[in-house]
């Protein structure tokens, strides 16, 4: 369960890194908001790296 | 592994340098495609088959062919090249670290350190990188593996997000804008003009030391089959294709906003496009590749000084690397340096290739140094030095640029090594 949660958080991190850029491209999201979402994506992707997954 | 290793801090430099050298969009896209295909084929058909048959490192193979002392010279040259390569990565990271301090950035035409604050920043980044490298390879390798997929997405996301600033609001706009505003075909002031052939040969030979030069025998010796060489496509088409295109787009936005300023700093460019994540990406990309490179350089030096402690050698190597990183020339002339790096080590790959495949067919002895207990194989040394001499001659006499010398150089090395061994081994049979 914990592993699944970590995996979901990391997947959300990657999604927040890439997907908002497409919304900026289509004009549905502000350029600066994208930067904030990318920062959140960075935290979500690297944050779980500090927790060791259960084997 | 290949995708991670080839998405490095230097990708933030190479893509923009293509823009600065005035390459056209079609030349870049075509040149990168064919150059990367040739690089993958080189890994698969030159390095892979020998690596899985021999299953030893490049250094061990060189000792068998060239002898211990010539291998030591190779190690020293390799270590020096590693130092400069890691130095360029530290420089790239320093441009991002300097953002909060409004660090004055170097220009494309700068070769020497431009300010005291730049030197201090480079030393701070170099010190951290070196200290981590002295602690070993495992932790850095783990961070690099975690960071790799994220870094690739940051490159892509940053490029996509800035496209509207260049006037691309629909996919169909891209090609027109790419030609008019990104890869315009006009070099920046003081930069030479690049063509399709420059791009193709650069993409093929930028990792020449690894494939044609056989350094990746050390990696592919663990492969189940020679076909694992094809997995290098992951690194080539992610790092050396999309990342270079993406960083070129980011640089074009910078040029548009700065009215073609000659300032060249990947950190602020990435920060503008992707905020903190962009700056972090530049630092992490530079750090995760500079770190193992310093570590590898340390190991290469340790082969020359086997009784010295690893951490001491790594510390000295880190200092040399950091000193090199202070010079912006390393970044501004990165394309030339990378081409030189491959060219210097390429002849040894040609020697291994001929020694392994052709000598047995001609009935002459392979692994001569091992067989005759030599510490210095003069035919190999002659091949290495003469090949480089011929390349310098072609460059000086005919004005052939460094990017193109690898191909004739390989055939020259093959000819000299084959000829010298046919004469020598028949005389001393």
pLDDT in tens, B54-65: 998 888 899 999
Architecture of domain B2-338: Up-down Bundle (1.20)
Task: Answer yes or no: is A11 within a domain.
Answer: no
pLDDT at res. B293: 82
The pLDDT tens digits of the residues spanning B109-153 come to 888 998 999 999 999 999 988 888 887 767 777 777 888 889 999
Give chain B's mean pLDDT.
91
Share of chain B above pLDDT 90, in %: 67
Say if the Cβ atoms of B275 and A46 lie within 8 Å.
no
pLDDT digits 0-9 by tens, B58-84: 888 999 999 999 999 999 998 899 899
pLDDT digits (tens, 9 = 90+) for B4-16: 777 778 888 999 9
Mutation for testing the A interface, residue in B144, B168, B274 having most A CBs under 10 Å: B274
Residues from chain A that touch B155, judged by Cβ atoms under 8 A, are: none
Confirm or reject contact between B167 and chain A (CB < 8 A).
Answer: no
Which whole number is the average pLDDT over B255-266? Answer: 86
Name the closest residue on chain A to residue B158, using Cα atoms: A21
Give me the mean pLDDT over the B27-53 stretch. 96
Band (pLDDT 50/70/90 cuts) for residue B190 is: confident
Residue with tokens 């170099």: B126
Tens digits of residue pLDDT in B139-148: 777 777 888 8
Mean pLDDT by 10 residues, chain A (55 residues): 86 95 95 96 88 56
What's the confidence (pLDDT) of residue A21? 96
In angstroms, what CA-CA distances link B108 with A10, A41, B99, B184?
38, 33, 18, 18
Hey, is the C-beta of B278 within 8 angstroms of any chain A C-beta? Answer: yes
Read off the pLDDT of residues B309-319 as tens digits, 9 standing for 90 and up.
888 888 898 99
User: Using one digit for the tens of pLDDT, what is the confidence trace for B230-252?
Assistant: 999 988 898 899 999 999 999 99
Number of A:B CB contacts under 8 A? Answer: 67
Q: Is residue A5 part of a domain?
A: no
User: Looking at residue A50, what is its pLDDT?
Assistant: 66
Question: How many domains, chain A?
Answer: 1
Mean pLDDT within B216-222? 87
Mean pLDDT of B279-296: 86
Show contacts of A2-10: CB within 8 Å, 24+ apart. Answer: A2/A53, A2/A54, A3/A53, A3/A54, A6/A48, A6/A51, A6/A53, A9/A44, A9/A47, A9/A48, A10/A44, A10/A45, A10/A48
Phi first, then psi: give them for residue B313, nearest 5 degrees.
Answer: -65, -45
- Confidence label for B299 from pLDDT (cuts 50, 70 and 90): confident
**Boundaries of domain holding A28:** 21-49
CB contact under 8 A, A35 and B277: yes
pLDDT at residue B340 greater than cutoff 90: yes
CB-based contacts of B313, cutoff 8 Å, min separation 6: B298, B301, B302, B305
- Whether residue A16 lies inside any domain: the answer is no
Rounded-to-integer distance, Cα B251 and Cα A31, Å: 17
Q: Which two tokens stand for residue B59?
A: 């250094």
Domain residues of chain B, as ranges?
2-338
- B388-B393-B396 Cα angle (round to 5): 125
Is any Cβ of chain A less than 8 angstroms from the Cβ of B160? yes
Q: How would you write chain A as a 3-class SS string? A: CHHHHHHHHHHHHHHHHHHHHHHHHCCCCCHHHHHHHHHHHHHHHHHHHHCCCCC
Say if CB B310 and CB B175 are below 8 A apart: no
Which residues does chain A have within 8 Å of residue B169's beta carbon, measured at their own beta carbons?
25, 27
pLDDT given at position B219: 83
Is A13 among the domain residues?
no
Reported as a single tens digit per residue, the pLDDT across B357-408 is 999 999 999 999 999 999 999 999 999 999 999 999 999 999 999 999 999 9
ipTM value of the model? 0.92
| Cross-chain residue pair B274–A22, CB shorter than 8 Å | no
C-alpha A39: how far from its chain's center? 8
B37 has pLDDT over 90 = yes
Mean pLDDT along residues B31-49? 96
Inspect the interface and report whether the beta carbons of B275 and A36 lie closer than 8 Å.
yes
């Amino acid at each position: 369960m914990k592993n699944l949660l970590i995996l979901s958080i990391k997947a959300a991190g990657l999604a927040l890194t890439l997907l908002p850029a497409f919304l900026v491209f289509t004009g549905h999201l502000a350029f600066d908001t994208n930067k904030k979402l990318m920062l959140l994506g960075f935290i979500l992707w690297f944050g779980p790296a500090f927790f060791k997954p259960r084997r | 592994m290949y995708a991670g290793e080839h998405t490095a801090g230097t990708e933030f430099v190479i893509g923009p340098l293509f823009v600065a050298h005035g390459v056209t969009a079609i030349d870049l896209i075509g040149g990168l495609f064919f150059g990367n295909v040739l690089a993958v084929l080189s890994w698969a058909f030159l390095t892979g088959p020998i690596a899985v048959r021999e299953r030893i490192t490049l250094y061990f193979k060189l000792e068998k062919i060239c002898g211990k002392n010539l291998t030591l010279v190779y190690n020293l040259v390799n270590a020096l090249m590693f130092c400069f390569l890691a130095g360029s990565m530290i420089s790239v990271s320093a441009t991002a670290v300097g953002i909060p301090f409004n660090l004055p950035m170097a220009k494309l035409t700068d070769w020497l350190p431009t300010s005291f604050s730049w030197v201090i920043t480079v030393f701070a980044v170099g010190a951290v990188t070196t200290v981590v490298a002295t602690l070993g390879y495992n932790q850095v390798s783990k961070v690099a593996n975690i960071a790799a997929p994220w870094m690739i997405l940051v490159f892509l996301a940053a490029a996509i997000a800035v496209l509207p600033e260049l006037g691309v609001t629909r996919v169909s706009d891209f090609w027109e804008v790419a030609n008019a505003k990104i890869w315009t075909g006009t070099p920046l002031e003081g930069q030479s003009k690049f063509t399709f052939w420059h791009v193709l040969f650069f993409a093929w030979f930028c990792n020449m030391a690894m494939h044609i030069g056989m350094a990746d025998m050390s990696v592919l010796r663990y492969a189940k089959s020679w076909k694992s060489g094809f997995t290098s496509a992951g690194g080539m088409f992610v790092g050396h294709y999309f990342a270079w295109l993406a960083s070129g787009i980011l640089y074009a936005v910078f040029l548009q906003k700065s009215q073609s300023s000659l300032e060249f700093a990947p950190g602020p460019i990435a920060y503008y496009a992707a905020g903190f994540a962009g700056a972090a990406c530049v630092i992490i990309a530079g750090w995760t590749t500079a770190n193992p490179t310093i570590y590898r350089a340390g190991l290469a030096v340790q082969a020359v000084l086997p009784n010295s402690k690893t951490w001491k050698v790594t510390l000295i190597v880190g200092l040399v690397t950091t000193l090199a990183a202070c010079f912006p020339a390393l970044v501004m002339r990165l394309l030339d340096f990378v081409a030189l790096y491959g060219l210097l080590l390429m002849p040894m790959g040609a020697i291994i290739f001929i020694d392994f495949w052709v000598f047995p067919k001609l009935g002459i002895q392979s692994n001569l140094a091992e067989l005759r207990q030599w510490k210095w194989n003069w035919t190999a040394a002659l091949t290495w030095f003469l090949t480089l001499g011929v390349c310098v001659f072609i460059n000086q006499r005919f004005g052939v640029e460094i990017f193109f010398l690898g191909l004739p150089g390989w055939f020259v090395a093959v000819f000299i090594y084959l000829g010298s061994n046919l004469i020598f081994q028949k005389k001393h049979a």
